[in-house]
Amino acid sequence: MTRVITYGTYDMLHYGHIRLLERAKSLGDYLIVGVTSDDFDKARGKINVQQSLMERVEAVRITGIADEIIIEEYEGQKIEDIRRLDIDIFTVGSDWEGHFDYLKEYCKVIYLSRTHGVSSTAIRSSRRVLTMGLVGDKIDFLTRFLNESKFVNGLHVCGICSNQKNTLPESLRTLSVVTDEYDCLLEHVDSVYLISSPVNHYEQIRKALEKGIHVLCESPIVTDPVQYDELLRIAKENNCILSEAIRTAYSTAYSRLLLMLKSGKIGKVVSVDATCTAIRDIADDAEAKWNSINEWGPTAMLPVFQILGCKYVTKQIVSNIVNEKLKWDAFTKIDFVYADAVASIKVGKGVKSEGELIVSGTEGYIYVPAPWWKTDYFEVRYENSVNNQRYFYQLDGEGIRYELVAFSKAVETGQDAGYISAGVSREFSRILNDYENGRITLIC
């Protein structure tokens, strides 16, 4: 019996896939199809896959062509599969010509001609394109954001609204709409990404949502829970997505870390400690409105609320405010006390510290080295260090592209993917409101 194996993503299964599977099957008597896992696709740069692994496996199964389906999870798995499954022929489409010649040591390798004129990429791109306008003055970041957006199928950044419209770099200056009038931008887009001054967020978000325009907003969305609730209501009424843009929430390593904690990997969590600092010059006008607590508070609080929930018993905010007028804190520390756990965050643009995240449990702890908010690696450590484990997950483009994929998917399905729940966003706004209203302890 000749055993054949082939691999693919099989996203939005199409005629080209079916023809390939049929020809692969006819090469032998038994066909095994390897479907790539979501993580493996992400790691090899395929970030736009629309269907989940389950959906893709089901689509292949329904064709009735495969005798067996396996999941491809890691680089180098093919050799192991070929040996383990006693494979005679490995085959893929001719777009991979030469790429798998190294497998000839283990079995016969056949490249089948690819069907012309159809691909998952083309099908994904043919869906309605979501246009996006950028809003803000953090030009370096917006340039990076624009570059990252190019990795996302079905999303097109077509405009910018900035006070610095006359001094933009070429990539931003040549967008179709370049303006310093927000209303003008809104006339041309389906969605906006806001990295504007937090004091403008409420008005800008409300205007967009009322026009049926989806919003991805850099934290903090607003610094008042009443305003947050109102915006959420307007979003619902207009069938719009309002998403908080904290890149960390979309990184694979951070998501895996949360799942591990939920599965009891370090026992019961008793403490979460997160630090985020980056020294910046208050004299910089664009930076001035972004004090330490606004810029870093939500990121640092993210693991606290996502691990321990938002129902703490007490909290204390301690700040070192160096400019009263701008409410600019050199650093802020917040301690949370829960019924059965504690947490603390330390954020600062006027101090430097180790930007690490430590989650302590009754059986061990998770250590994420600095800068933890760009997590691609973490360690699970135990009393007996021989049991320690290290985890690495690829993080491309600081997570911006994953954030954009999640946002455009949410717009398409009409459902927020839940990376950052409304409850967590609301709690951020409550804490920042306490800060703004002086419910804090000051130190000099």
Q: Which residues bind ligand CTP (CB under 6 A)?
A: 8-11, 16-17, 20, 92-93, 95, 114-115, 118-121
Using the minimum distance from each CB to ligand CTP, give the nearer residue, 115 or 238.
Answer: 115
Q: Give the CA-trace dihedral at 299, 300, 302, 307, to 10 degrees.
A: 160
Smallest CA-to-CA distance from 393 within 258, 292, 297, 294 is with 258
**Nearest distance, CB of residue 82 and ligand CTP, angstroms:** 16
Using the minimum distance from each CB to ligand CTP, give the nearer residue, 20 or 205.
Answer: 20
**Nearest distance, CB of residue 301 and ligand CTP, angstroms:** 37
Torsion angles phi and psi, residue 281, rounded to 5? -90, 120
Torsion angles phi and psi, residue 199, rounded to 5? -65, -20
Using the minimum distance from each CB to ligand CTP, give the nearer residue, 114 or 430.
Answer: 114
**Nearest distance, CB of residue 231 and ligand CTP, angstroms:** 36
**Nearest distance, CB of residue 85 and ligand CTP, angstroms:** 18
Give 385's contacts (C-beta < 8 A, 6+ positions apart).
none
Other Cβ atoms closer than 10 A to 255? 18
The whole-angstrom distance between residue 430's C-alpha and the CA centroid of its chain comes to 24
Using the minimum distance from each CB to ligand CTP, give the nearer residue, 36 or 425.
Answer: 36
Position with the least CB separation from ligand CTP = 93
**Nearest distance, CB of residue 25 and ligand CTP, angstroms:** 13
Where helices occur in 35-138 by DSSP H, the ranges are 38-43, 53-63, 77-84, 120-125
**Nearest distance, CB of residue 9 and ligand CTP, angstroms:** 4
Using the minimum distance from each CB to ligand CTP, give the nearer residue, 349 or 409.
Answer: 409
Strands 155-161 and 130-136: parallel
Element (H, E) at 170: helix 170-173
Other Cβ atoms closer than 10 A to 240? 22
CB 39 within 8 A of CB 393: yes
Torsion angles phi and psi, residue 423, rounded to 5? -60, -40
Using the minimum distance from each CB to ligand CTP, give the nearer residue, 8 or 198.
Answer: 8
CB 271 within 8 A of CB 343: yes
**Nearest distance, CB of residue 154 and ligand CTP, angstroms:** 13
**Nearest distance, CB of residue 20 and ligand CTP, angstroms:** 4
The whole-angstrom distance between residue 353's C-alpha and the CA centroid of its chain comes to 25
Give 430's contacts (C-beta < 8 A, 6+ positions apart).
225
Using the minimum distance from each CB to ligand CTP, give the nearer residue, 44 or 262.
Answer: 44
Using the minimum distance from each CB to ligand CTP, give the nearer residue, 121 or 437.
Answer: 121
